[in-house]
Structure 1
Amino acid sequence: MSTITEAVDVDVPVRTAYNQWTQFETFPQFMEGVREVLQVDDVHTHWVLDVAGRTREFDATITEQHPDERVAWHSDAGPDHAGVITFHRLDGTHTRVTAQMDIDPEGFVENVADKLGVLNHRVKADMEHFKEFVEERGFETGGWRGDVDSPTS
């Protein structure tokens, strides 16, 4: 299992950054290899990825979500991974968005990619693409402000 941590400072208020991140169906517009994300309900998503030329699908559950603070998840089946995205208000118009993910690569190709740092590079690039995506608009394409309490709360 590998842990990846990447952060990016975006030139939008924390509410805008958070609201945009909750629009999972826009992820293919700024995440390489993500073909589709379907929001099944408030806490369930279905992902379709392109990994080294192969289609991979999995379901994930949002395990904790608090407006303007954090979104945490884990995969239900398929590639074993979990993570949290946190949002830190730097000032009224700047936000630090931090992704921390635990990923257990499957198969030879994914393990080699992990060892070569390809997964880290992809997450870093996706965070930069999110920055460009939200800053170009200056506002979010939507937002979900509901709370999901952690199972241990």
Structure 2
Amino acid sequence: MSTVEESVEVDVPVRTAYNQWTQFEEFPHFMDGVERIEQRTPTLTHWVTEVGGAKREFDAEITEQVPDERVAWTTVAGEARQAGVVTFHRLDDTHTKVMLQLEHDPHGITDTVGDKLGFVRRQAKGDLNRFKQYIESRGLESGAWRGRV
């Protein structure tokens, strides 16, 4: 397994950042390579991705969700094997630090080489920066799911 840790500070309150992150079907707006996400149940999502010409589909289960604090997941079906957590840290009333910790198992030679070259780390950093641009340009979340898992 390979581990990636990245973070970004966003100019919105913690509640706004967290609420937007719970809108999984919006991820294609800021995550490179994510074509579609379907929220199948409150805790199950189906992902369709294409990265470097490799198309993949997988299911991810939300294993922990605490409003304004964290969202954790693990894959449960499909080629991609990963687990991670995104945590939200209040810096002040209008600023939040979003931290991503991701463990993934590269699949095949292409993924392994890409991982060794830092592709996954750069992808994660880019996705967090695009999330920053997305939520700051909106100024408010597109929806929210405040349930606990």
The TM-score with structure 2 as length reference comes to 0.98
Question: 1:52·1:109 contact (CA, 8 Å) conserved in 2?
Answer: no
Could you say which residue in structure 1 is the equivalent of 2:140?
139
CA distance in 2, matches of 1:79, 1:50: 12
- Structure 1 counterpart of 2:35, one-letter code: R
Alignment of 1:25-36 (within 5 A): 25-36=25-36
Unaligned runs of 5+ in 1: 149-153
Query: Which residue is 1:87 aligned to?
Result: 88
Identity of matched residues, %: 58
Q: Deviations over 1:72-111 (max 9, x none)?
A: 0000022110000000000000000000000101011111
Residue identity in the other structure for 1:82 = A
Q: Does 1:59 align with 2:59?
A: yes
Aligned length in residues: 148
Q: What runs of 5+ residues in structure 2 fail to find an aligned partner?
A: none
What residue identity is the alignment partner of 1:41? T
**Secondary structure of 1:7 counterpart:** strand
- For normalisation by structure 1, the TM-score amounts to 0.96
Q: CA RMSD in A?
A: 0.5
- Tell me by how many angstroms 1:51 deviates: 2.2
Q: Which amino acid aligns with 1:13?
A: P
